Amino acid sequence: MVAALPLTLTGATLRRQGKTLIGPVDLTLGRIGVTVVIGPNGSGKTSLLRMMHGLQRTADGRVGWSVADAIARERQAYVFQRPIALRRSVLANLMFPLRLRGASRAQAEAQARAIADRFDLSAMLAQPAPSLSGGEMQRLALARALITEPEILFADEPCAALDGQATRQIEALLAGTAAAGTRLVMATHDMGQARRLASDVIFLLHGRIHETGPAETFFAAPATPEAKAFLNGDIVE
C-alpha cells in the first residue's frame, strides 16, 4: 500500500468573503510524529486542520497528498472539537464508518466490539450515543475515527471542556495511537498538553505559520518574540 503521506501544502490559502483566514501556508507533514498546532484564539487552528482534511476548499495553492485525492480521503479521519453523535447506539456509531465502506454487518460489529474494548466503551454499547457524557462521547468520537485505521488523524481540541480524568484518558489514547504509527495532527490551547504530546509544533498567528520546529527546541528556546510571549502566557495579538 502506497502511503498517503507526506502531505505537502504549497501556498495553501483559505478565504471567506474576501477575508483571508489561512495562509498562504507552505508545510510538509512527514509519515510519523505528533504535530501540535498552537496559537491564540482566532489564529486559525481549526481552519488549518479543516483545510488539510479537505473540509474547506482552498482559494489558492494546493493541499497535496502523495496519492490520488480520492484514495487520500479514505486514509484520514477527523475528530471535531464538539463531537458529533449519530442518533444511534454507541455500537452503531462505531460500526458506521465501516458500513459506509461496505463492510458486512457482522464484520463491522466484530471490529466495533474490539475497538470498544480498547477505548473503554464496552459497557455502554447499547446506549444511545447522544446520552453519553462529554468524556465518553469524545472517546467514542476517537474510537469511531480510528476504526478505519487511518494513516493520519486530525484532532481539533479533543480535550476541550473535559475534566482532568477524561483529559488524561484521551491523552493516553492519543499517545497510544501515535505510538502505533498513526500520524497525529492536533490543535490545542492547552500548553501542558502540547508539551506532553508534541513531537513538533506549528505556532499559528493570524492564519500563518509564525514558527515551526521540533517540540523540544520550540518549547526550550522559541525563536520569535511572539512565540516566546505566547508560551509565557502573555496576550499575543
Partner 1 sequence: MGDLLAGLTEAFRMIVTLDAELIEITLRSLRVTLTALAISCLVGLPLGGWLAVRRFRLRRAVIATMNALIGLPPVVVGLVVYLFLSRSGPLGVLGLLFTPTAMIIAQIIIITPLVASIAYQAMRDLWSDYHDLLISMNATRGQRIVTLLIDARRALLTAALAGFGRAIGEVGAIMIVGGNIDGATRVLTTAIALETGRGDFALALGLGIILIALALIVSWGSHWAMRTERQGTW
**Chain residues that interact with partner 1, rule: CB under 8 A:** 53, 55, 73-74, 77-78, 80, 84, 86-88, 96-97, 100, 128, 130-131
The residues, ordered by sequence, that sit 6+ positions from 190 with a Cβ below 8 Å of its Cβ are 159
Decide whether 62 or 73 has the Cβ nearer to partner 1. Answer: 73
Nearest to 91 by CA among 144, 142, 24, 41: 144
Decide whether 9 or 77 has the Cβ nearer to partner 1. Answer: 77
Decide whether 86 or 229 has the Cβ nearer to partner 1. Answer: 86
Shortest separation between residue 147's beta carbon and partner 1, angstroms: 11
- For residues 176 and 119, the answer to whether their CB atoms sit within 8 Å is no
The residues, ordered by sequence, that sit 6+ positions from 143 with a Cβ below 8 Å of its Cβ are 94, 115, 116, 118, 119, 121
The residues, ordered by sequence, that sit 6+ positions from 88 with a Cβ below 8 Å of its Cβ are 96, 128, 129
How many C-beta atoms surround the C-beta of residue 154 within 10 A?
Answer: 26
Decide whether 21 or 198 has the Cβ nearer to partner 1. Answer: 21
First to last CA, the chain: 44
Decide whether 144 or 208 has the Cβ nearer to partner 1. Answer: 144
Shortest separation between residue 162's beta carbon and partner 1, angstroms: 19
Shortest separation between residue 148's beta carbon and partner 1, angstroms: 8
Beta bridge partners of 35: 185, 200
Shortest separation between residue 97's beta carbon and partner 1, angstroms: 5
Decide whether 131 or 224 has the Cβ nearer to partner 1. Answer: 131
Dist CA 201 CA 213 (whole Å): 6
Shortest separation between residue 229's beta carbon and partner 1, angstroms: 33
Shortest separation between residue 175's beta carbon and partner 1, angstroms: 23
* Set of cell numbers at residue 191: 500548553
